[in-house]
Amino acid sequence: MLDYNDVEDCAKGGATLLAYDRVPTSEAEANNADIAFSLHLALDGVPLFDNYGVCFASVAQTPGPDGTFDPDLRGLSDPHVLALTEGGYGIVATRTARGGGDDGTRASSVLLLRTDDFIDYTELGLLDLGVTHGVNAPAVAAAGDGYVVGWRDDLGVAWHATLDAFAADATVGEAGRGDAPIRGEIAPGDGVALAVPSFRSGNVIEIPPAIAEALRLRFRAVTNTGAAVSPVTVPVGAALAASDLPARADLDYSDGSTGSLAVTWDASSVGAVDTARPGEHRVTGRVRQAVYPTPFADERADPSIVPFRYRGHDVFLMIATKDLNLDPIANDGGPIGMPIRMAATIADLADANGGAALERDILVAGDLDADGRPMTGCFWAPEIHVIGGELSILFMPSYDGEDGRTDMWTGRASIIQLRRDGDGEHLDPTEPDSWTTARHVTRADGSVLNDRAGISLDMTYVEDAGRHYYAWQMLGSIFIATMDPARPDRLTGEPVRILAPEYAWDNTIAEGPNIIVRDGRVLMLYSGSTVGDTYTTGLATAASGADLTDPQSWTRLNAPIQKSGPYNGEYQLGTGHGMWSRDEDGNDLYVFHARTDHLGLTGRDTFVRRVHWTADGLPRLDMETEEELAPEHREVAVTVTVAGDAA
């Protein structure tokens, strides 16, 4: 599949913006109906965001207490964009049911949205045009002190009406027959449309340079443009070691952002510096850019990799859900358990480097929980955290149902913690007996988290501004509550739903939250859609120090932060359930799973890559190897000046 991030567009001046929807094709192409029926954008004929939607219609109504269901989800078709006379831009479209069918509003109404920059959008709502004959292919243009909207009825007859404002409560003039004078419509056979795979309908407008550039920065590749290291001065006669040189190279990027990677300095080059007399020397080194095997671990979903200090040594732990052939409940007949790996480096955890041989199950089917009940399956989404100074694993086991087989709906968010010896040292985390007995996490009064359906899963932990929180999935939504590390199996506050699926790419489940606090912001990754090829990653943010149990503290992106798409010349499918982490050099990592058919297996596999933070403060989770570090910048040099008088 063509990687549109690699396509150069025309000079960075003003641009022609094409707004469109697509003909649905397949989940494998990330263009099923949930994605096709959304607003897509192309600059000067080149699709943005890998020809994926950038704005999606919201649910028809606020999800009820049991979550979001198929009938709640909506799409949009036949989008038409215009510059508003009062500033900003408007989008008019037909709202559809999930899958593109009629949701009952097409007979009389159009969907209105507004944006200032084509990055953030506000859905204004439905505008009733006062007709019942069908409103198809709507288009709108400024006219006098208001606007004129045109459409086709169900028989193909053209109609139009005036609006006194671009708003859902606008006054609508009487509908009349005939075309309205609206420019910019693109037919499927036009040249502009033919350049966009699966183009369905849309229109073009001209946008100013600043907006065009902002769209490029958000939705196109961000690439490495420079690398530098600060010069070093040492006094005559001083010893020079690699540790005296800059530890990291400063990197510049095409969007104005910066980053850094560690440097390994060439020992012979360091040794060649003569510090016995004044002079200037050039020392060479290589930027460290670990490229991890893909996949990192086969049939391991919901992965977690964390650094850990064990008996005076820095090691890394990895844990994940067993997912043989996409069966995370019973592992497709394979051994059921919770597998952990420990190694000196992240790379050593990978299957290709012998990591699979390091794996041990610290829980297996049949182990008893703290209530004496045998846990028989799942061991889902285990996450490793340090809670109150104790190494902890949050996970969900399941129990046998009425038919005598493990039933995921019996699953409960649970915790185990690593024991210590008499000297206060951690026991071996790869030994099953080193861990406490599994306990369910409950409400403050000891009752179950999910009092409506029982199951609770995907629990994570975060500390922000001195307050401690658990966030997890139940009822298809993300819930959060305060907790006290001194008693990690009990909440201290009531569960609050902070995020429910609202868009078709979310599907009917929002799950797998994982949170990082960075630069005054709390960033929560979560997974949308159901397990499989359509899995995606969303992002919600809050201000650090805010009440994270207040839904109003959170703002979510309308479109995914990560999705199926090209990466390093391959196509990654069904990306999601990611976790923030750190590597040996202190770089932010993103650990997640995606679907592959590697080794002839069909489950979800673990992937590991670094995070780049863009100029607008968002994480770039799919920065390709040569985008992160251009080949010409892999080798760096530092100027070492020996200053002073020779002895």
Domain that holds residue 114: 4-219
Q: Is residue 518 part of a domain?
A: yes
Q: Is residue 371 part of a domain?
A: yes
pLDDT over 70 at 230, yes or no: yes
pLDDT over 80 at 114, yes or no: yes
Q: In this prediction, what percent of the chain has a pLDDT beyond 90?
A: 93
Q: Is residue 389 part of a domain?
A: yes
Q: What's 260's domain CATH number?
A: 2.60.40.10
Structure confidence at residue 145 (pLDDT)? 93
To the nearest 5 percent, what fractions of the chain are helix, strand and coil? 10, 45, 45
* Residue where a domain terminates, one of 202, 219, 236: 219
Domain shared by 266 and 332, yes or no? no
Helix spans in 195-282 (H): 209-219, 267-271
Gap between the Cα atoms of 588 and 592, Å rounded: 13
Q: What's 382's domain CATH number?
A: 2.115.10.20
Domain shared by 518 and 389, yes or no? yes
Tokens of 317: 């732990």
Domain shared by 259 and 313, yes or no? no
Q: Tens digit of pLDDT for each residue in 247-259?
A: 999 999 999 999 9
For residue 6, name the pLDDT band (cuts at 50, 70, 90): very low
Domain shared by 524 and 599, yes or no? yes
Q: What mean pLDDT is reported for the chain? A: 95
Average pLDDT over residues 528-543: 91
Structure confidence at residue 647 (pLDDT)? 63
Q: Is residue 295 part of a domain?
A: no
Q: Is residue 38 part of a domain?
A: yes
Average pLDDT over residues 179-189: 77
Domain shared by 156 and 246, yes or no? no
Q: Tell which residue, 218, 322, 292, has the closest CA to residue 539.
A: 218
Q: Tell which residue, 381, 375, 415, 370, has the closest CA to residue 399.
A: 375
* Residue where a domain terminates, one of 167, 190, 219: 219
Structure confidence at residue 4 (pLDDT)? 40
Gap between the Cα atoms of 288 and 626, Å rounded: 13
Domain shared by 262 and 317, yes or no? no
Question: Is cis: bond before 303, omega within 30 of 0?
Answer: no
Structure confidence at residue 14 (pLDDT)? 74
Average pLDDT over residues 586-615: 95
Q: Is residue 294 part of a domain?
A: no
Q: Is residue 341 part of a domain?
A: yes
Cβ contacts of 191 within 8 Å, gap of 6 or more? none
Q: Tens digit of pLDDT for each residue in 479-530?
A: 999 999 999 999 999 999 999 999 999 999 999 999 999 999 999 999 997 7
Gap between the Cα atoms of 473 and 514, Å rounded: 11
Q: Is residue 273 part of a domain?
A: yes
Average pLDDT over residues 168-175: 98
Domain shared by 316 and 280, yes or no? no
Give the CA radius of gyration of the chain: 28
Q: Tens digit of pLDDT for each residue in 541-557?
A: 999 999 999 999 999 99
Q: How far is CA 349 from CA 342, 353, 537, 606, 622, in A?
A: 7, 7, 24, 11, 21
Domain shared by 312 and 269, yes or no? no
User: What are the backbone dihedrals phi and psi of residue 434, each rounded to the nearest 5 degrees, phi first?
Assistant: -80, -5
Structure confidence at residue 32 (pLDDT)? 96
Domain shared by 535 and 409, yes or no? yes
Q: What residue type is assigned to position 282 of the chain?
A: R
The owner of tokens 């009406």 is: 161
Average pLDDT over residues 272-277: 95
Domain shared by 19 and 106, yes or no? yes
For residue 2, name the pLDDT band (cuts at 50, 70, 90): very low
Gap between the Cα atoms of 53 and 91, Å rounded: 14
Domain shared by 109 and 140, yes or no? yes
Average pLDDT over residues 557-565: 95
Gap between the Cα atoms of 216 and 612, Å rounded: 16
Structure confidence at residue 646 (pLDDT)? 72
Number of domains in the chain: 3
Tokens of 19: 């707004």
Beta strand residue intervals within 500-567, DSSP E: 510-518, 521-528, 536-543, 555-556, 565-567
Structure confidence at residue 90 (pLDDT)? 98
Q: Tens digit of pLDDT for each residue in 328-348?
A: 999 999 999 999 999 999 999
Domain shared by 398 and 480, yes or no? yes
